[in-house]
Structure 1
């Protein structure tokens, strides 16, 4: 029985028997045999029979989030255009001015000008409300502040117990009598009370803003923070009647004045602090409160290669982009609680 040749086999035999010199230049056309094997199908048929590959998504595919952020898909493995930021190399340390004696260091934060202002307004209030001969010397005011600091370092909660013979602190007892301490605390003032109502129309923190502003500036200029700075909120316990008193159920002390704080990671030093006074009219329209707070707190420390750590309240892509433009990176907590590095 004669075996039928496939198209490929016939082509090979034909080409082996043909002399190239006898060719008249015409093309040889071979029609595929209908009984040939599937492997003899044309290339078009082979292409059609193969499964179609799923098209790879390109970089032009974008999706817009609810907040207006435009997300686009990037090919895995390609490097995005990014200029590395040189990290801040020095550790946190006090300035040369703040490395002197303990008294000189204290005066770096609460200066003599600030003490004189407090003395003036305290004496004024006492003379107007109690008697005209009431007076408090500057060393006595400094001793009063020293006792306040010592009270914060001791575990005695009651003011009366601080002067107790059994529970009291000998340094506090030897510095000032308890009655005098309470007398100064009752009259302690940080501004001119007669002009406060006018200043409060534009400044909700008018009762202390002058002294407070000087204190914050001194905190910034007296210490050079290290590479890592953390930003968070702090509720100062208080039940004072004011328009910016906060209630936070998750805090141990549920009522108080809320502060936005930036601290050096290693030393826990307060680098910058802002009180939360409600809606800020100076905040740019459309800017999120969290972004505005972080940028204001970090302003003195930008453009140096530092990193700021925040929780999910502050973390956002737009904040990371703003910080990156000022040579600052961010380590933020996402909504799931996992840390996210945005560079």
Structure 2
């Protein structure tokens, strides 16, 4: 991944600025460390990381501000010369190669426990792209949405998918929520695990699909779902249990 980022960043810089522009791997790692420290220090702006009053000594000692900005300007995650062709079939073309390696590493480098949670995450961004989302209920209302499966105990990202809009490969009639859960959980099924979801994902049909793959589900469920019995919809109780096959499916009705 680092070699790819290095190659494409140098390629872009030499094509747009100076033919002798270069960045070695230690410098790329130093750049990444500054980005991480910048997120930890939470200074008002990037320039303040090098200021006399608010600056972080570790950042100042790692890389000059001008060099950091120079690398930031040219940082690329793909071969720009072929991006337009790839973008015709891949909306994530600008980063899909490195992203695919990252997700593969997440799946193969860690064995999650018995409990995995699935949810959405909106990463703040105002970059102009066709899959930018606006969600009024979020603190940062604009961003790129990801579907994420995390290990309950360690919070490790087990699998993650970007939401790029309508997926032409999704089978007709299959709910988006079910498709997302099954894709995220595919590497971890048939192992007796349990997943926890919110009411966007939880449904009887999803529970049945998971049960066939030796996986159970626990989650809140919207009481307007077709599979919820009428007696439960109008009950004063806020919790009920229903049987799916030989396992318990325990949704919680919202108050």
What's the TM-score bracket when you normalise by the shorter of the two chains? 0.7 to 0.9
The counterpart of 2:201, out of the listed 314, 320, 329, is: 314
- SS of the aligned residue for 1:308 comes to strand
C-alpha separation between the residues in 2 aligned to 1:132 and 1:296?
A: 44
**Cα distance in structure 2, aligned partners of 1:190 and 1:155:** 25
1:228–1:265 contact (8 Å) kept in structure 2? yes
Whether the aligned pair in 2 keeps the contact of 1:220 and 1:271 (CA below 8 Å) is yes
The corresponding residue for 1:284 is 171
Other-structure match for 1:192: 79
Who is 1:164 aligned against?
51
Q: Do 1:246 and 1:257's aligned partners in 2 also have CA atoms closer than 8 Å?
A: yes
Segment of structure 1 superposing worse, 122-131 or 321-330: 122-131
In structure 1, the partner of 2:249 is: 342
How many residues get paired? Answer: 230
SS at match of 1:224: coil
Aligned match of 1:259: 146
Alignment correspondent of 1:250: 137
- The structure-2 alpha-carbon separation of the partners of 1:338 and 1:237, relative to structure 1 and needing over 3 Å to count, comes to farther
Shift of 1:339: 8.2
Aligned to 1:304: 191
Gaps of 5+ in 2: 224-237, 242-247, 251-255
1:8 aligned partner: none
Residues in 2 aligned to 1:199 and 1:164: alpha-carbon distance in whole angstroms: 42
Q: Which has the larger radius of gyration?
A: 1
After TM superposition, where is structure 1 displaced by more than 4 Å over at least 4 residues in a row?
336-341
TM-score, length of structure 2 as denominator length: 0.87
Residue pairs, 1:1-343, within 5 angstroms:
114-335=1-222, 342=249
Give the Å deviation of 1:338: 5.4
Q: Given the superposition, is the C-alpha separation of residues 166 and 294 from structure 1 closer, same or farther in structure 2, using an over 3 Å criterion?
A: same
Q: Distance in 1 between matches of 2:239 and 2:41?
A: 37
- Cα root mean square deviation, aligned: 1.5
Q: Is the 8 A contact 1:258 1:276 kept in 2?
A: yes
1:304–1:327 CA contact under 8 A, matched in 2: yes
Matched residue of 2:28: which SS? Answer: helix
Secondary structure of 1:239's counterpart equals: coil
Deviation at 1:234, TM superposition (A): 0.5
Normalising by structure 1, what TM-score?
0.65
What are the Cα deviations for residues 198-237 of structure 1, in whole angstroms up to 9, with x where unaligned? 0001110000000000001101111111111110000111
Distance 2:67 2:110 in 1: 34
- Segments of 5+ residues of structure 1 without an aligned counterpart are 1-113
- The 3-state SS of whatever aligns with 2:186 is helix
Contact kept, 8 Å, 1:232 with 1:311, in 2: the verdict is yes
- Supply the distance in 1 between the matched residues of 2:240 and 2:138 (Cα, whole angstroms): 23
